[in-house]
Copies of this chain bind each other. A is one copy, B any other.
Amino acid sequence: MPTSIRDVAKLAGVSVGTVSNVLNRPQEVSADSVTRVHRAIEQLGYVRNDAARQLRVGVSSSVGFVVLDGQNPFFNDVVRGAEDEASRHGIAILYGNTDEDSAREGMYLDLFEEQRVRGVLISPYGDINPRLERLRERGIPAVLVDRFSGNGRFSSVSVDSVAGGRMAAEHLIERGRRRIAFVGGPFEMRQVSDRLAGARVAAESSTERVEIEVIATTALTVEEGAAAGQRLLQRPRRDWPDALFAANDLLALGLLQALVVSRRALVPDEIAIIGFDDNPFAGAAAVPLSSLRQPSRTIGRTALRILLEETSDPTAIPRQTVFLPELIVRASTG
């Protein structure tokens, strides 16, 4: 029932080798054979079986993308960028979402290894360097996304979070804020600790006396942001910071919502807020949100491109691509 390359060969009156050649290097086949084979393919509705191809040539036509947080529009944009570039090469994306769960992360890496994917894009959660090393030994390269490769063993595409944190804090300081609360967590996430580090650099290198307080959250979500906002509002007013720097826009939106709904704190007059990512909803928020824009589509596209280069040249030296975020000033920092 399922038609194979042999059926095509028979109908076209040529050998299977010729059919394969028509499919893969038509220039080495006579024009006559090409048309006959194409006609046969058309007539039978033949579609090449990629599993057989992959088994023989040993290389798959898909790449895996392990995403940290499928809810986050930032990652969706990154995936979009990668998917866009992949489709140009006839490559499909195997999508795995870990939701910050090491077990799921490992599970997807296993799955992708079984599939012998061409390569893996990953925004890592746990310590997966050993896993990635192992994949590489097996000829599956990996590119880290939204994460700088600490030891330089892998290529990575990320945004300079330290610089971004610094830009955010400098902006707040310049606007006259002196008591900044950094809202974010968990701090095992490199992006989170980097953004805080950047903010601290800004505070220390300022001529003014600037305090940085840390309000820890357990995740980068709207809910956690709102909860943090609630906690803040319960303090006596004199203990309030005059600015909030949220580790990402989801948190910032949650914070904003808590402050606006309570009507107890004016944004930005009493408390300014700045986020990170500039996700598509930041500009549409209660008070349009200042943020640091990441070139998310470009990140995905670039990561996929590097991955493909590494698959064709396994000896390539890993390279770290770092983009600078862009400060977007809106009403929330007035």
- A55 and B47 contact, CB distance less than 8 A: no
- List 18 additional contacts besides A48-B114, A71-B77; criterion CB under 8 Å: A2-B58, A45-B134, A49-B114, A51-B52, A51-B55, A51-B60, A55-B55, A61-B111, A70-B79, A71-B280, A73-B73, A92-B111, A94-B94, A95-B95, A261-B288, A284-B285, A286-B286, A286-B287
Residue A319 CB within 8 A of the other chain:
no
Residue A160 CB within 8 A of the other chain:
no
Q: How far is the CA of A283 from the CA of B65 in the complex (A)?
A: 30
The listed residue (B47, B51, B76, B94) touching A51 by CB distance below 8 A is B51
* Complex interface bits, A249-276 against B, C-beta within 8 A gives 1, otherwise 0: 0000110110001000000000000000
**How many interface residues does A have (CB within 8 Å)?**
59
Residue A150 CB within 8 A of the other chain:
no
> Provided the pairs A280-B71, A284-B254 are in contact, do residues A49 and B93 lie with their beta carbons within 8 angstroms?
no
The listed residue (B51, B79, B104, B111) touching A95 by CB distance below 8 A is B79
- A92 and B112 contact, CB distance less than 8 A: yes
Q: How far is the CA of A287 from the CA of B261 in the complex (A)?
A: 10
Question: How near does chain B come to A229, taking the closest CB pair, in angstroms?
Answer: 11
Question: How near does chain B come to A129, taking the closest CB pair, in angstroms?
Answer: 16
The listed residue (B48, B95, B284) touching A222 by CB distance below 8 A is B284
Residue A138 CB within 8 A of the other chain:
yes
Question: How near does chain B come to A73, taking the closest CB pair, in angstroms?
Answer: 7
- A116 and B45 contact, CB distance less than 8 A: no
- B115 and A62 contact, CB distance less than 8 A: yes
The listed residue (B73, B77, B107) touching A87 by CB distance below 8 A is B107
- A93 and B92 contact, CB distance less than 8 A: no
Question: How near does chain B come to A163, taking the closest CB pair, in angstroms?
Answer: 27
For window 1-46 of A, CB contacts with B under 8 Å fall at 2, 45
Instruction: Kindly list chain B residues whose C-beta atoms are within 8 Å of the C-beta of A96.
Output: 83, 87, 92-93
The listed residue (B76, B95, B108) touching A94 by CB distance below 8 A is B95
Residue A50 CB within 8 A of the other chain:
yes
Question: How near does chain B come to A78, taking the closest CB pair, in angstroms?
Answer: 11
A50, A110, A116, most chain B CB atoms within 10 A: A50
Residue A236 CB within 8 A of the other chain:
no
Residue A242 CB within 8 A of the other chain:
no
Q: How far is the CA of A254 from the CA of B285 in the complex (A)?
A: 10
Q: How far is the CA of A253 from the CA of B282 in the complex (A)?
A: 11
Q: How far is the CA of A52 from the CA of B253 in the complex (A)?
A: 48
Instruction: Kindly list chain B residues whose C-beta atoms are within 8 Å of the C-beta of A47.
Output: 110, 113-114, 138
Question: How near does chain B come to A260, taking the closest CB pair, in angstroms?
Answer: 9
Residue A187 CB within 8 A of the other chain:
no
